[in-house]
Structure formats: structure tokens, C-alpha cells
Amino acid sequence: MHFTSIDPASEKTLASYSHMDATHVERTIAQCVRAQQAWAQKPIAERAAVLRRLAAVLLAQAPRVASMITAEMGKPLSQARAEVEKCATACTYYADRAEELLAPRHVDVPQATATIHAEALGIVLCIMPWNFPLWQFIRFAAPALMAGNGILLKHAPTTWGSAFEAVRMCREAGVPEELVACLVIDVADVATVIADARVRAVTFTGSTRGGAAVAALAGANVKKSVLELGGSDAYVVLDDANVEEAARICVESRCTNSGQSCIAAKRFIVQRGVIDAFTDAAMQHLRTMHVGDPLDEATRIGPLARRDLRDGLLDQVRRAVEGGAVAQSWHDVPDVGFYVAPTLLTNVDADNVALTEELFGPVAAIVEASDDADALALANASRYGLGGAVFTADPARALWFAQRLECGTVAVNDMVRSDARLPFGGVKDSGYGRELGPHGIMEFVNVKSVVVRA
């Protein structure tokens, strides 16, 4: 069996990667275990020095690595460079903060001395997606490595080139050989790896369906799991908002990574008094989005990553229109490549597929809300709960929404972004657990209490 990478802009084959057999997988896991046992004994300051070197390698090699990301999954080159550079921020954050975050904590206990320690868990399997092929890995790997863990990387089958680049850069920075290793395996092989007693936990970023399967396997084997799954983020525009600015931010969020982002704005919930002005402004901003070759610096929207993703999104648009929505687009797209023109769906009701399903591409839906309570109800009427945003000039209204939106991150008068300093994750069908921030480094440690009687 082989895994093939295809350039989504040209539809040409880039590379083919051989599937690992059982013997190769066994050897890789055994080597990772030995490397992790040695790594966990190193002082945190020594691990931090490696992470700082990794940050430097990422920044120095960003142009070349960005070109590979763009070739494999089609995101505009400028956004691919930004992805690589963002990875360096996660490495630096944990290099600077890990000693403090992992330090033993003393607790007052009568007639005893009690200390809480955070120890490495061991080997963690990470299953990573294609849409941010480097960032999704590094945002997990940086805290996991600082905590003393080893990493087995099972990447998306179309972006193995990016996975091998990630491992190569880790080694160049001084991450010990075999501590971070690729497992070039198929979905059917994942169950065997999760069941392996040497693998202590699993983290998964991807679809809700895939996450449910991974969670079931982890639960059956009594393994810790962290899931970052799909999203259908609601951006709520209230009647006192700066409508022009809100429309610009909503469209920018919707079109980032050609719309292939879990935390992109996907449902624009706009109050009745400003919906016409917002729709006009959003249409104008969509018109300015240059669609084309992702290697062109002027391009804002490239192709979707795969043919099936393009076809699936177009089918969702078709079903949305059959359900009463009006689709508006102003762009021609190249004849070759997996392109979808940026599209705005209006006249959308609460039961339309545009609101009930996640649209993974440059397609947004506008739905009208009568008042604040109606807007909140529409925003929360989703099985997803990753992020959300509210646009208003009134801090009290913003706080009211922030406290009631059912999601992991709320942005006020801005778009939702992941940030190395802040915990990131969702609720409901968007998963559980947190990455990044102080919480992210604690997901894959053994929190051990040591009590010594006085």
C-alpha cells in the first residue's frame, strides 16, 4: 500500500509514501520508548534549549517548508509561511514557561508534607489532519515534549511530506533520534497502536466522526485522549455593531485557509436592523477575494485540499439552495484544480443544511435574528461548540453573550484564533480537552501526589 500526495492546484502527483509493515511499526514504537525514557530524565532547562532551537529552525526554514505545505494541501503561500512562523511561537512559549508550569506544588496537609508532581506520561500517539499540517502537530508536540513525553505521529495520508519535514526539523534542532517518529499507517492500523500497552495516550484533530472512533478505541483500552474536532462557529452581529468592520472580519475569518479551518466563521447571525447593511458589506468583501494559484502572493483563496472535499462542499451548497437558500458568488475559478468560488448563502432558515452541517470551504451562511435572545438561541442551536464571536459596541451585551455561548473560545469584535498562550478546544461535538496555554501542557502528564507523614 502507498499513500499519494496530489497538488490540489495542478492535480499532479507529488510523491508516494510506502505503508509501514507490522515489523517496522514495532521497531519504531520500541525505539520511541527507549528514547522517551532517556528524555524524561533530562532537566527541563535542557529540553527548553531544544525547543528554542526548534523555534529558530522553523523561522529559518519557513519559506521552504511553506512551499511544501502549499504544494500538498493548497493553502495560499503567504498563509503557509504564517503557519510555520506561528509554530515557533508555541515552541518559545513552552520553552519559557514549562519550568514554572511543571514545578512541584506544595499543599498544606495536617501532620504531613504533601507535594503534587507533574511527570511525563510516556508515549503519546498523535493523529493529525491535513488543513494545518505543521501547526496542528507543533501545538501538541511543543508541550508534550517539554513535559518529557515521546511522540508517534500518524499524519493525514495526503500530507506525509509535511509530517516528515516536521520530524526532520525536530531532529535538526536536537530532539533525540526516535523520540518523535512517523507511523506511516492506515486508519485500520490505528486500533492496534492505541491498544499497545506502551502507548499511554492519544490525541486527535479532525472530524467528529473520526474523533468518536478514536475516543471509543482509547476508552476500550483505558487510555487518555484529547479531541479537537469540527466546528461551525457562529459570529453574532448585533444592531449596535460597527457593521462594516464586522463584515470585514467575518469574511476574513470565513476565507482563511480557503475556508478549511475548524475555527472559521461559518454562520453569520445578524440582527434584523442591520442585516441588509451587513449583507451588502459582506458581499463587497467577498468580491475582493482573489481566487487562484496558491503560489501567487496576491491569492487569498486557493483550491480545496482534495477533489472529494470540493465535490462534497458543492453538494452541500446545492442542497442548501434546494432548501430555500439563495447562493451568490462573483468569481470564476480555474478549470484545473479543486477550486470552489467564495459563496454567500442568504435567505437561510434554521433547518437549512448550511446551518446544521459544517461547511468546510469558502461558503458562508447569513441568518436573521430578531433580538439578542433569538441570536443566542440560533448560535447555540448547533451540535458543535468550538468557537464563536460577537460584535457589539456595548461591553455589557458582549459579556452577556460571552457567558452564554456554548463554545471553548469567544472573541469580541474580532475573529477566533488559536494562541500559544491560551487554552484551545471545544465542547459538544467539537471534542474535549485543551491544547496550548497552561492547560495544554497538563493534558499529557501524570499528576502524582506525594504525601510524607511528619
- For residue 254, the one-letter residue type is R
The DSSP string of 380-443 is: H-SSEESEEEEE-S-HHHHHHHHHHS-SSEEEESS-----TTS-B--EETTEES-BSHHHHHHT
The residue from 87, 250, 255, 262 that is catalytic is: 262
SS (H, E, C) 60-100: HCHHHHHHHHHHHHCCCHHHHHHHHHHHHHHHHHHHHHHHH
Of the candidates 300, 270, 274, 266, which has an alpha carbon nearest to the alpha carbon of residue 286?
A: 300
262 noted as active-site residue: yes
What is the sign, positive or negative, of the torsion defined by CA atoms of 291, 293, 295, 296?
negative
What DSSP element (H or E) covers 189?
Answer: helix 187-195
Cα–Cα distance for residue pair 155/133, rounded to 1 Å: 8
Give me the catalytic one of 228, 358, 368, 443.
228
Phi-psi region of 122 (alpha: psi -120 to 50; beta: other; left: phi over 0): left
Classify residue 131 by its DSSP letter.
S
How much of the chain is helix, strand and coil, in % rounded to 5? 45, 25, 35
Number of H helices, E strands in the chain: 15, 20
**Do the bridges between strand 387-391 and strand 427-428 make them parallel or antiparallel, or are there none, so unpaired?**
unpaired
Respond yes or no: is residue 100 known to be catalytic: no
Residues with catalytic function: 228, 262
